[in-house]
Structure 1
Amino acid sequence: MDKLHKQFIPFIQTHAKDNWYGYTSPRMVFFNSDDVIPDVPFGTGFLVANKVGTMDVPHIHDGAYNFFVFTGAELDRIFEAEFEIGFCIGDSADSMEIYHITKPSIVSAPPGVWHSPVYFKKVVRGLNTMLTYVGTTTGRVYSRLDENGKEEWFYEKENSRPCVQDPTKLCTFCGLCFTNPKQTDEDVRKYMEPFYKNASTVGKYKDCIMELRKDYHKLGDAVMNPRCVFKGNPDMPGTGYQFSFNIVTSPCKLGDDEPVSNGQIAEFLWFSGTDVVEPWDSFDAEIEVMLGEDPDHMEVANFDKPGVIVIRPGMWRGAVTVKRLGKPVCFIPYYIQDKPRYKITRKIVNGESLLVYNDESTIKNPTPGDELYLQIKR
């Protein structure tokens, strides 16, 4: 994998000093695509609560969508999980709507919309939050009172984040604003009381919460049926981000034998164990993915640890082959674009190499090769 080593990003464990009470340890350092693909803003990871508590304080993102995907601890039993979440979202930090989530779901917090805290109300072994950011900036905006009691807006991207416990100090990412080891379940409930007391009941943001649905696929017996999916715009209008949880239970080949490209759309292939409490220990597999700059120069990227394969816009990909499987694997392909996705393959017609689109309506600005293909097709 020498030439392709940058395309595989292994999951990184946090250092012991960075682990937080109330969450599994070690935590997973979030994958961020900007390290590999500049100007393709995407990042995600597992954040697994194992105690009743809250996550974060009210804030907005000035240029990014913040997606929250909630599941239980065992992804191979994703539709059987027991948990309860109270999710705060609204127009104002002082009066947010609170939605209760008890099934695998996705929440979209658009740019400029206040959200958090997330109230982990019922936790059985582990409650998984896959936080994903899709947008132009990672900057957060907080509301706070200045020394004269006047509200001011604080831009994290321009300043260091203030400590939630003591605003006179800077944040050290100790995690106490997420869960405090001295808090009891009753303390957490009391902390949330003002949010419930002042909660809006308008229901303006009800369409920002969507239960993940069952998808009965035709991928073969090696992939659990049904799988859990979010189809983007068809499931939540205005949202292009899409993914599926594919639980692989035996060695198999997935995808296309012939190299394909998604054009100018980046593709992220996530591979982990199915136990989010033990994402490293629950992974036992050898996987290979064919990658290349063009169909004539494909190479094998192989790995035996959990991580993400990054496929840059314009790159070509072949089949995903699970060569050895000691434990079930969770395979999640991510796409973040809001435009129609299409596949491009290559065919030789009358001795000439042509790019063939699976849907000619997606060809908005055809190249000479596109025009030739369309003429032949017609």
Structure 2
Amino acid sequence: MIASPMARHDPEQRLSILHLEDSLADHRLTVMTLRRAPLVFDIHHADSLEAFQTLMAHHPIDVILADYQLPGFTAMDAWQLIVQNPNHPPFILLSGAIGEKAAVDAIRLGIADYVLKDDMARLPHVMQRACEVHESRRLREQAVQELAASQKRLAELTEHLQSSIEQERAAIAREIHDDIGGALTAIRFDLAWIGRHSTQEGVRDHAQAATNMLQHAIGASQRIMMNLRPPILDQGLVAAVQWLAEDFERRTNVPVKMVASAPSMPLSDAVQLVAYRTAQEALTNISKYAAPTQVRIDLSDSEGMLTLEVADNGQGLDMRALEKPKAFGIKGLQERARMVDGWLDISSRPGQGTSLILSVPLVSTHPFTGDERT
């Protein structure tokens, strides 16, 4: 079906009309009425369902006019033949034998409008309005489809970027562990040898100072590596989140209570990684903004659902802040959750703390692996 020219208000565009009518006199009257309007059109006449189907199959039709009662069938039979096609043209009843109730019922089923034959002068206006509505609906549906396709492409891009980021993190962590970590350890042994074998007190002092700075560098490299991809994830999500809680408590002096439904949980690498990053980001935000006196982490894999809740009793937040364009942290967590068919819920009130809950169904398959193994 082509888009309705009438919807573009261009009288020079040719309109293709199909008229389902068993009375030749009424058909001619319809043609005469339309010719009085500023229209350029072709009109195809059918007086049977077979002819109607043939014309619909071989001609691009912009609007259908149909008598209600025809020999052996009604306009609703013709309507049933086209209604399965979502792109069908507007269908207008043009009849002298239809009551108001039947017309209203037909419109409820999707018929565009109806015109009585003794009020034929209204037909051009009704056709124009029906075509405009039809075109508006078509454009709206097209926009919805394009938006859905755009959102799908954006979700695929986000998943690809997240996967690439995790792979890059794993590669960097591996280089820190294998190259930088190995080199720093070797230097530490050399400095220790110098300190033991030097007879000059000044050299021993410098060697000790360098060893202390080197130890600091080793600790920093280990912290960076743990943030990139902690090896403790190989021991499972419970152990990894427990390590996050202990590290948070050590850095902030804020007590963290962690409760897990089991000491270990059989989870895919993708789900483990999403849950770990969610807990990591939640604790980072708490340390930056919440100023709490206590944090609680609940981790459960019961009833086919992984649930991770990170809650604090801090100053809370304004939920409207999550809608800000640059609230990338939470948006990133929401996208991560969607990658494993999960979702993220956040509840908070100023002065009453914040609760962040990740929920992931465990019956789904997850194509994103996010493998960060070093």
Sort the TM-score into its range (normalised by shorter chain): under 0.3
TM-score by length of 2: 0.20
Q: Highest relative contact order (Cα 8 Å, sep 6+), 1 or 2?
A: 1
Greater share of helix residues, 1 or 2? Answer: 2
TM-score by length of 1: 0.20
